[in-house]
Amino acid sequence: MPAFAKRLDKVTGSAIRALFSLLGDPKIISFGGGNPAKESFPVDLVQKYTDELYKQDGAAILQYGATEGYKPYIKACLDALLKNKGLSGTSANLLALTGSMQGIDLICRTFLDPGDTILVEAPTFLGALQTFNLYQTNIIPVAMDNDGLIMSELEEAIIKHRPKLLYCIPTFQNPTGRTLTLERRKTVAELAAKYDVVVIEDDPYCELRYSGTPLPTIKSFDTTGNVVLLNSFSKTLSPGMRVGYAFGREDIIRKMTICKQSADTHTSNITQAIAAEFLTNNALAPHLESVIPMYSKKLNAMLNAMDKYFPTECTYTKPEGGLFVWGELPYGIRTLDLFKTAVEEYKVAFIPGEHFYPSPELGYNTFRLNFSSESIERIENGIMLLGELFKEAINKKTIDNK
Amino acid sequence: MPAFAKRLDKVTGSAIRALFSLLGDPKIISFGGGNPAKESFPVDLVQKYTDELYKQDGAAILQYGATEGYKPYIKACLDALLKNKGLSGTSANLLALTGSMQGIDLICRTFLDPGDTILVEAPTFLGALQTFNLYQTNIIPVAMDNDGLIMSELEEAIIKHRPKLLYCIPTFQNPTGRTLTLERRKTVAELAAKYDVVVIEDDPYCELRYSGTPLPTIKSFDTTGNVVLLNSFSKTLSPGMRVGYAFGREDIIRKMTICKQSADTHTSNITQAIAAEFLTNNALAPHLESVIPMYSKKLNAMLNAMDKYFPTECTYTKPEGGLFVWGELPYGIRTLDLFKTAVEEYKVAFIPGEHFYPSPELGYNTFRLNFSSESIERIENGIMLLGELFKEAINKKTIDNK
């Protein structure tokens, strides 16, 4: 067998996949996932629109489509989605994606040669980290506080490392749940223009807001075309459909389209058409209104239980939306070491935070919790159990240190 | 704006896309496409299965799925499709794809570093050529005759160029319609094993056989795991669904799966589930039986008209299936030079063959004709018009040479 490509040298598959092989048991309360709640999917409406679409012109939907996207989908995204965000453009600014993960890959393909540098939030989405590794990229983590990326750290990293790209999830970030403030969004756009960096603004959670005021995208402050906005319907309608889009400067979208020709020719017509139906029938907003109270209750249940059961030495974020809460234990405690005990003895799962850093040692004492897939009762119970485990670990460390 | 990646230096998008901007006029008879006939799509059955699937467990279909594929789809491909081809394996040997174009990309991602060498049939599928260029690959064309790749040329090229990969479309090849003989299929598998080359066996047209006897895959002669079989439902059910699969050795499939995580996370569940329904309900074979006579009549109409109207100096293939016929004009006539006259004056379109070669000069006098999208009457009329154009070009060349 010929040797595998060098790009695979540093990549071993999703790091948490191995952990999840421990999670067959339904008795285990899992905060480890990241899936939308099963009960959030608008099955009946999807079915209704599908029927109508096949009746209208089934053959057109089953035929090859354009790489750029299904025309009604492109139009609906521009008119019914982006306009509401204060973003205007033509079909040349939009590319349909097979999920926004594909957008990350296509921007990398468009810009990155081996050895090029990309800046990422520390911590960040691990699927993105894996992709950046596949492009043999130099990945530089930039520190965050509770308001997202720290601007002085970002500018310093740009000057020092001269990156081509910055990857940023500004709203209810995965894994931290943090949201970049309005002022910082402006600053990111300004720094990108000043130092000629392309920003991948990955914003899949922005519609899942349970409190506070919606913020404009970084893209809306972009005067030079350096920001490419990625979004998808995975968190608002259905991840199984695999539909998203990239919105950006025409020349970048054109190169991404060329790369997409080789990646999968085009995104499935039917799933694009269904998403378009939700937009043109004004059905997305009411659907979200029906889903958000359910998520909001689950998030509040988790945060209240954390206030009640977690040791005071444990700090955590208090997100206004999204699917994740992020926590930190005292220095010296490695959450990966606690994972096996959590699952096997306490029957509760979380994700050790180190997987979300390009260098695991940066976040060895952190963890991510997801609240979307469990009932309120199980959330409270699971957090109580985790609280016990964390207290035990802190006590043990205190004793060890004596 | 930072510089685009070097991989884009040689890539300008689908070469024939620009030609097609000339084709807005419905009066033009087009042999330029490659789409299945619109009337071939089983709209009613797709709709029926979709309804049933959403009724059974809509939420599971709308949720995230495994990168490897939707379980009933994997099982159906193994049990109802590959077993019939004499190929046995487990789920570890199969990866669901967002169309088989994605399979080509994932194999490249798995094996190719810049400067590595791939052998291709000359001519070959131009989408594959574009992908190989994106991987900064050294693309070496290997000569074909009417029985497909010439084995002595293949072995010589392997010895001389030490390729990692061979890309081969063995059945009703795009663009030539040629089929690799049984003996040569065995030999390809033997050469791959002997010289340790990975063969990408891309076989999307194999089910579209209108005469002659079905042949076993190259993969069925593979004793070392050097052959990866790609197939899709694009030519048998619907290209708009974007569903295919890769079948190969477990370690290769595992690396391709890692690459697919970064490419699009997974293929749409619903389109996989629909394809699975066709297989488990034994509905694919009857559907093909209903479609094949229609294609067969169109192919015969085209070949009969070519016999009648084309100049004797023009040679062409006589395929037993697939979607394409391939032709060659005398040396000295460049078909690209005839394209504009064909479209603007004769109102008939074809694809100049040079686009299907890594070096255009290898096939400047060739052309590809597709017969699936036009009526019999328009096929006969279009071939008559092309025959006039070709005769005129030959006459002009004869006069020029005097």
For the stretch A153-207, pLDDT in tens is 999 999 999 999 999 999 999 999 999 999 999 999 999 999 999 999 999 999 9
Band (pLDDT 50/70/90 cuts) for residue B185 is very high
Q: What is the mean pLDDT of residues B390-395?
A: 96
For residue B140, the SS3 value is strand
Band (pLDDT 50/70/90 cuts) for residue A19 is low
CA distance B342 to chain A (A): 25
Is residue A374 in a domain?
A: yes
Is residue A1 in a domain?
A: no
pLDDT of residue B338: 95
Cβ–Cβ gap A46/B62 under 8 Å: yes
| CB contact at 8 A, A167 and A118 | yes
Final residue in a domain of this structure, among A284, A299, A325: A284
**Helix axis angle, A182-195 to A151-161, nearest 10°:** 10
Determine contact: B105 vs chain A, CB below 8 A: yes
The H-assigned helical ranges of B210-356 are 250-264, 269-280, 284-309, 335-344
> Which residue from A58, A134, A226 is facing B262, i.e. has the nearest CB?
A134
* Residue B232, CA distances (Å) to A105, A207, B203, B219, B239 in order: 23, 35, 8, 16, 8
pLDDT above 80: residue A21: no
B19, B94: one domain: no
Q: Which helix (H) or strand (E) holds A299?
A: helix A284-309
Handedness of CA A202, A208, A210, A214 (dihedral sign): positive
Final residue in a domain of this structure, among A236, A261, A284: A284
Is residue A388 in a domain?
A: yes
- φ, ψ of residue B141 to 5 degrees: the values are -80, 140
Stated pTM of the model: 0.96
Tell me how long chain B is: 402
The enclosing domain of B68 has a CATH number of 3.40.640.10
B89, B31: one domain: no
Is residue B400 in a domain?
A: no
A314, A199: one domain: no
B313, B381: one domain: yes
A182, A262: one domain: yes
Is residue B181 in a domain?
A: yes
B157, B130: one domain: yes
The DSSP output letter for B3 is P
A222, A316: one domain: no
The H-assigned helical ranges of A69-181 are 71-76, 100-111, 126-134, 151-161
Is residue B49 in a domain?
A: no
Is residue B402 in a domain?
A: no
What residues make up the domain containing B179?
57-284
pLDDT of residue A400: 77
For B67-91, how does the pLDDT look when each residue is reduced to its tens digit (9 = 90+)? 999 999 999 999 999 999 999 999 9
DSSP per residue, A64-101: ---TT--HHHHHHIIIIIIGGGT----GGGEEEESSHH
B35, B173: one domain: no
Is residue A339 in a domain?
A: yes
The conformational region for residue B287 under phi > 0 = left, psi -120 to 50 = alpha, else beta, is alpha
CA distance A164 to chain B (A): 6
| CB contact at 8 A, B262 and B110 | no
Q: What is the CA radius of gyration of chain A?
A: 21
Cβ–Cβ gap A54/B59 under 8 Å: no
Q: What is the mean pLDDT of residues B238-264?
A: 97
For residue A261, the SS3 value is helix
Q: What is the mean pLDDT of residues A274-302?
A: 97
B11, B135: one domain: no
Q: CA of A267: which chain B residue's CA is closest?
A: B242
The enclosing domain of B377 has a CATH number of 3.90.1150.10
Band (pLDDT 50/70/90 cuts) for residue B25 is confident
pLDDT above 70: residue B21: no
For chain B, give the mean pLDDT: 95
A58, A186: one domain: yes
pLDDT above 90: residue B397: no
For B335-362, how does the pLDDT look when each residue is reduced to its tens digit (9 = 90+)? 999 998 999 999 999 999 999 999 988 9
| CB contact at 8 A, A379 and A369 | no
Determine contact: B136 vs chain A, CB below 8 A: no
pLDDT above 60: residue B15: no
Q: In this predicted structure, which of A10-14, A45-49, B92-96 has the lowest mean pLDDT?
A: A10-14
**End-to-end CA separation in angstroms for chain B:** 55
Determine contact: B18 vs chain A, CB below 8 A: no
Q: Which helix (H) or strand (E) holds B122?
A: strand B117-122
Q: What is the mean pLDDT of residues B206-223?
A: 97
Final residue in a domain of this structure, among B226, B256, B284: B284
CA distance B150 to chain A (A): 23
For A379-391, how does the pLDDT look when each residue is reduced to its tens digit (9 = 90+)? 999 999 999 999 9
Q: What is the mean pLDDT of residues B238-266?
A: 96
Q: CA of A34: which chain B residue's CA is closest?
A: B64
B11, B61: one domain: no
pLDDT above 70: residue B13: no
B224, B349: one domain: no
pLDDT above 90: residue B26: no
Handedness of CA A219, A222, A225, A226 (dihedral sign): negative
**Helix axis angle, A335-344 to A376-401, nearest 10°:** 130
More confident residue, B401 or B252: B252
> Which residue from B51, B226, B271 is facing A51, i.e. has the nearest CB?
B51
pLDDT of residue B11: 80
Q: Please identify which residue in the block is written with the tokens 């979004």.
A: A231
- Count of structural domains, chain A: 2
Beta bridge partners of A24: none
Nearest to A176 by CA among A366, A358, A378, A375: A366
The DSSP output letter for B346 is S
Handedness of CA A387, A388, A392, A393 (dihedral sign): negative
